[in-house]
Amino acid sequence: MTTMEVPTLAPRPTLRAKGRNIVAVASGKGGVGKTWFSITLSHALARAGQRVLLFDGDLGLANVDIQLGLMPKTDLGSVVAGRMTLNQALTRFPEGGFDIIAGRSGSGTLANIPLSRLQMLGDDLVLLAGNYDRVVVDLGAGVEKTTRNFSQQAGTIMVVTTDEPTSLTDAYAFIKVTHMERPGTDMRIVVNMANSTREGERIYNTLLKACEGFLKISPPLAGVIRRDLKVREAIRNQTPIMMRSPNAEAAADVEAIVERLIRSR
């Protein structure tokens, strides 16, 4: 597996250490269930007793609020425009027990903000993270500057993939770029929409072999999420799966990921 050359971003080590409780959710390509996983991960962490913030870091195609059926009065657009602080842009999602900072749905304008403003936004997020046990950042797909900037702030990065060849190739591309910019980053693989746990482990091993063979790293398996029709139903109804179908297999799989995440810290 190969990937294009991408200009590196300069790391900011002083704030990086403060972002250890930030969990970035990434993917090489869209359509792998990254936003659904970010929402469900946040919900599961909150149910485990943690104070959680979900930050919609997909500045090009923000849709966390859409999947939750929310119409927030504030969003990142107001923060970037200087009309409010990041803390003032918080929206409480009481049914899930966590806070949200929404992106600007239906607008790609935030994807083009200057790099200096983007870095300030990332630094502000690290400072805000001090008020929470966990901050989950739903990154945009790919390796664009916005995605890489927010991923630099994270203590842990969950890379979501499926069994599609393009998903695996693009997940590898993201891992490669991140490893080049931040060697030693805690990256973990989440296999989504697997036909079975065993099948998910096989998919993970395919990606692992590429990472070991070409990058000489071995990102661990965070967990396998089985294919579940109740996920589609929950998204269609704009309701978290742990509220609509708490006993669903996919919900149980995310809870298992959360248990391992909490134990690892």
User: Tokens representing 184?
Assistant: 């030693």
Residue that wins the pLDDT comparison between 178 and 265: 178
Please state, in angstroms and rounded to a whole number, the distance separating the CA atoms of residues 252 and 225: 9
98-132 confidence digits (pLDDT tens): 999 998 765 555 667 888 888 889 999 999 999 99
Query: What length does the chain have?
Result: 265
Q: Work out the burial of residue 165: count CB atoms within 10 Å of its CB; fewer than 13 is exposed, 13-18 middle, 19 or more buried.
A: exposed
Sign of CA dihedral 168, 173, 174, 175: positive
Residue carrying the six token digits 């931040």 = 182
- SS3 at position 258: helix
Give me the amino acid identity at 205.
Answer: N
Query: What average pLDDT does the structure give for the chain?
Result: 89
* DSSP designation for 60: S
Name the DSSP class of 213: I
Predicted pLDDT of residue 216:
98
Each residue's pLDDT tens digit, 42-99: 999 999 999 999 999 887 777 899 999 998 888 888 888 888 999 999 999 999 999 9
Residue 140 DSSP code: P
Distance in angstroms (rounded) separating the CA atoms of residues 65 and 62: 8
Residue 253 has pLDDT above 50, yes or no: yes
Give the position of tokens 């600007």.
104
pLDDT for position 61: 76
Angle between helix axes 249-263 and 229-236 (nearest 10 degrees) is 90
Residue type, 210: A
How much of the chain is in helix, strand and coil states, percent to nearest 5? 45, 15, 35
For each of the domains in the chain, give its residue range(s) and CATH number, in order of start: 22-264 (3.40.50.300)
- In the predicted model, what is the mean pLDDT of residues 18-31? 90
Angstrom distance (rounded) from CA 33 to CA 186: 21
Q: CB-based burial of residue 62 (10 Å sphere; 0-12 exposed, 13-18 middle, 19+ buried)? A: buried
113 CB-side CA count, 13 A: 26
What is the rounded CA–CA span in Å between residue 234 and residue 190?
20
Residues of the chain with pLDDT > 70, as a percent, come to: 90
